[in-house]
Amino acid sequence: MDELANPFRPGAGTPPPALTGRDELINRFGVAFRRAAAGRPGKSLLMIGLRGAGKTVLLNRFAEIAEQEGFRVGLIEAPEHGHFPSLLAARLRRILIPLSSNVVSTAVTRALRVLKTFTLQLPDGTQGKVMAIRWRHTVIETRNWDTVVVPNANLLSQNIVILGKRAGKHLQHRMWVYFNVDYRFSPTRVIEAVTAALMAGPIDGVAADPPPNVICYDFAKDGRDSFGYYAVRYWLTDLANDDPTSSRIRARVYSALKRADIPLARPSRTLFVSADEAEPERDKRHLEQRLRAIDGVELFQPLTPEERKFIALHLQHAPFAVGETVTRQGAVAHWLYILTSGKVEVRRHIDGGPETKVVAHLEAPGFFGEMGMMTGEPRRADIVAVTEVECYRLDKTGLQEILHERPEVAGELSRTLAKRDVELAAVLENLDEEAQRARRAHAEVTMLDRIQTFFGLERTTQL
């Protein structure tokens, strides 16, 4: 046959003058299609064959049959390495957008109803919860106490973010809190200080898994600033309370940097002019503040004014934010804390497990942690800040020189420690007066021996 006159030349889906030998396939599709439309299971058709065998022509005929029955048809070409769900979603979206009849609107409404349990973020950044889904529009209430009406066609034609949703995981959404520190302080030191504060105790609204983390994500560019850019990344568990939760994170960051003596950065182009007091006057005022704090510590009453001044010069300022753990039960840390403002609570772990019980509250002025500093004993309880707390802390070296110059002070300090230790035992064990006196006499000897051993003094006790 003349190839120029042959009407059956393959043409990549071009309909031939007649479909011959395909009636059985067309009839099988008609049966499967009508059974599916009636809600009954049917056998699917899979056509395979060489290029030019007529597969596309048959698919087009199947599409004509479906459209004649009132259905919408979408043709998808799926490459071997393509992502089929994405191709399917795009085709379905194009099919649904132009539909507006009541029957179709009902179907679209039913399809969109799955969004009602989630918090959405629209393309313009608006976040809110789906409250109602109508035929033509969806009602979203935002966290700003506003109501947004979104046409359903927009929801189907744009990418909508479902906040905090991941298969098999708890509802949580990653948040960023930014802060800046200048170049005088190494990123390692900044990250370690802030990370320790974030992990010191649970923060309301912040997920424990994944835990919050700190990164140095960039340095200043083009000479604009003189500091590094840092961020805390955390996972929010209550999507409606993002700002209050971020505020709690900032409070932790501020306290952590204060304790580490790392100031937040100021832009280098900003000029601050203030009438600062002279350095000697400032040092005098700080010394007076520390001496007043020491006056409230019963442990230091046996010391001379010069010895108290020596200790005052060794005190370090240590603020804590609400919820931070100041000391942790079982930890070994040779710090004494002098509470100058705020309130903390004492929590004991039950049977060594993670569950804790509040056994006491301490308010300023006061002190705690003396056993760790004087004997090296591990912490007996968690101390957690209930309010913002201001402390001074003193380590072992601040007292060591005094004890080596005047070893007899150890005896006076041991009596104070024994008294406080027995008072705590009386509360926990319900001891009567006679039992307290008997225990105090033994505790004074034991405490003195532990102090002398810890500070390397000559032992005067026989235990």
Helix axes 102-112, 84-96, angle to 10 degrees: 140
Neighbours of 298 (CB within 10 A): 13
C-alpha–C-alpha distance, residues 16 and 35, integer Å: 29
C-alpha–C-alpha distance, residues 283 and 379, integer Å: 33
For the chain, 463 residues long, the average pLDDT of each consecutive 10-residue run is 60 64 80 78 75 78 80 76 68 63 57 66 80 80 81 73 72 90 88 91 90 90 77 91 92 92 77 65 86 86 88 90 88 88 90 82 88 87 90 87 87 85 75 78 85 85 64
| Mode of pairing for the β-strands spanning 161-162 and 119-121 | antiparallel
Alpha carbon of 240 to those of 115, 129, 244, 419: distances in Å?
A: 17, 10, 9, 50
C-alpha–C-alpha distance, residues 134 and 461, integer Å: 85
| Mode of pairing for the β-strands spanning 137-142 and 127-133 | antiparallel
- N residues, the chain: 463
C-alpha–C-alpha distance, residues 411 and 460, integer Å: 10
Burial 410-432 (b: 16+ CB within 10 A, else e): bbebbebbbbbbbebbbeeeebe
Those residues whose C-beta lies under 8 Å from the C-beta of residue 293, and which sit 6 or more positions away, are 312, 315, 338, 340, 365, 392
- State residue 13's pLDDT score: 55
Q: What is the three-class DSSP state of 80?
A: coil
DSSP state of 21: S
Q: Is the peptide bond before 210 cis (omega within 30 degrees of 0)?
A: yes
Decide: 455 and 410 in contact? Cβ < 8 Å.
yes
Those residues whose C-beta lies under 8 Å from the C-beta of residue 33, and which sit 6 or more positions away, are 42, 62, 65, 66, 69
CA quadruple 14, 15, 16, 22: dihedral positive or negative? Answer: positive
Full set of structural domains in the chain with CATH? 23-75 (no CATH), 99-162 (2.30.30.60), 173-259 (3.30.70.100), 280-406 (2.60.120.10)
Mind giving me the DSSP string for 210-268?
SPPEEEEEEE--TTS-SEEEEEEEEEES-GGGHHHHHHHHHHHHHHHHHHTT-PPP--T
| Mode of pairing for the β-strands spanning 161-162 and 147-151 | unpaired
C-alpha–C-alpha distance, residues 135 and 130, integer Å: 14
Neighbours of 105 (CB within 10 A): 15
